[in-house]
Amino acid sequence: MKKIFRFVPFVLLFASFGMPFLASAAVAANCPPGYISIDCPNGGTVPQGGAGGINISAITPYSLSIIYVINFIFVPVLMAIALIVFLWGVYKYFILGATEEKSRIDGRQFVLWGIIGFVVILSVWGLVAVVGNTLGLSPGGGAPPTPTL
């Protein structure tokens, strides 16, 4: 079993570098076989996917729904959990453990972990926004602009 797992990184590496070779250029709708849309002799029309490459319109609904689930369900639930942990810590520190030192220490730990949760969630969310804006990716999941020659 261990011998099989030794080959997994190589297979993944080969697959990740081999995928561009599997993507062929877009063939125009009314071009003869063997021509791509750039050098089509009778001015064929380009498919909906763009001037070349892979047509991603089939997976776009799935990617948009995954992005929706992450942005509008998963992150708010994590923020709510961090808020509940923080408030539970405040409750344990000030109200429940007003006289016990052990309960105050537990409350302090809950407050600390609630704040750490907020910082981590907001930092990751901010980092994703910075990287997306730096690379020119739109929040709607659109493709980056086509470079001009």
**End-to-end Cα, the chain, rounded Å:** 51
Cα pseudo-dihedral 54, 55, 58, 60, rounded to 10: 90
Same domain for 126 and 76, yes or no, is yes
Final residue before a domain boundary, out of 36, 55, 74: 55
pLDDT digits (tens, 9 = 90+) for 1-29: 567 777 777 777 666 666 555 554 444 45
Using CA atoms, how far apart are residues 33 and 101, in angstroms rounded to an integer? 81
Q: What one-character DSSP code corresponds to residue 52?
A: S
Q: What is the pTM of this model?
A: 0.54
Same domain for 64 and 134, yes or no, is yes
Domain of 40?
Answer: 1-55
DSSP string, 6-20: HHHHHHHHHHHHHHH
pLDDT digits (tens, 9 = 90+) for 80-114: 999 999 999 999 998 888 888 888 999 999 999 99
Q: Is 121 helix (H, G, I), strand (E, B) or coil?
A: helix
40: closest CA among 52, 53, 28?
28
Report how many domains make up the chain: 2
